[in-house]
Structures are given as C-alpha cells and as structure tokens.
Amino acid sequence: MPNCKIQRDKTFSYIPENRTIHYTDLRDYYDLFSLLHEFGHAHFRHLGLKTMLREKEPFQVWQQEIDAWKYARKCIKPNWYWLFDSFAVDCLDTYNKFLTHYSRNELLNLITGATRQIKIRRED
Ligand SMILES: [Zn+2]
C-alpha cells in the first residue's frame, strides 16, 4: 500500500498535492476496485488530472490511467478478473472517448498487458 493519507468523501480521487486518497462508502466490489485504482495513482505519484491536461500530452494522461488500473489489477485475485476487467474498461472508456478512441477489446488488452504500446489515434 502506498504511503498516503485516506479520507472519506463523496467521490474517489487522488490529490497529489497532499498525497490524499478520497473514497466513498465501500458498498461493493466496484468501490473496492476504484479505491485500488486510486492507490495506483498514489503509488506512481501521478499528477492530478487538471495539471496533466494543462501541462502534458494526452497520451501521458492516458498512460497514468492505464498504469493505475494495471496496479489495481495486480492487487486482486485472478478469479475476480471477470468482474474487474469490464469495470476497468468502462472507466477507461470515459477517458478513451475524448483522448484515444480505442475499441473495448483494445482497452482490455491494455490493462491485461496483452498490448504494451499506447498509441493515440488522431482523427483527421
Ligand atoms: Zn484514475
């Protein structure tokens, strides 16, 4: 577990400025997966989304999200992958829609490690 504070809140997030993870009630496995994802951001000492979007390239924002989901995936037992993977792909898809435009299968390959290269598709 990364060295950071955790604090109850209304949403899941990681605030790099004070190294704090915010979390909601843990009602189900999806909430647990989200918390592990935020642990991933803290573990890798990721920058906040607003900073990333202002100062970095889109693929770097994207890479942070992939890495945080891969971290979360390593924390769970393989017999939960069936539930985890579809949830992680759903979450990634929200970024995907404005950053990369991958198919769901390509997203799955990115978090399972089947695809290593992150490419940004340009819409011409
Ligand atoms: Zn994230």
Q: What is the pLDDT of residues 48-70, one digit of tens each?
A: 888 887 888 877 888 899 999 99
Contacts of 14 (CB under 8 A, 6+ apart): 4, 20, 21, 22, 38, 41, 42, 46, 48
Report the alpha-carbon distance of residue 81 to residue 123 in Å, rounded. 32
pTM of the predicted model as reported, rounded to 2 decimal places: 0.84
pLDDT at 36 over 90: yes
CB atoms within 10 A of CB 12: 17
- Cα-to-centroid distance, 37 and ligand 1 (Å): 6
- Cα-to-centroid distance, 17 and ligand 1 (Å): 15
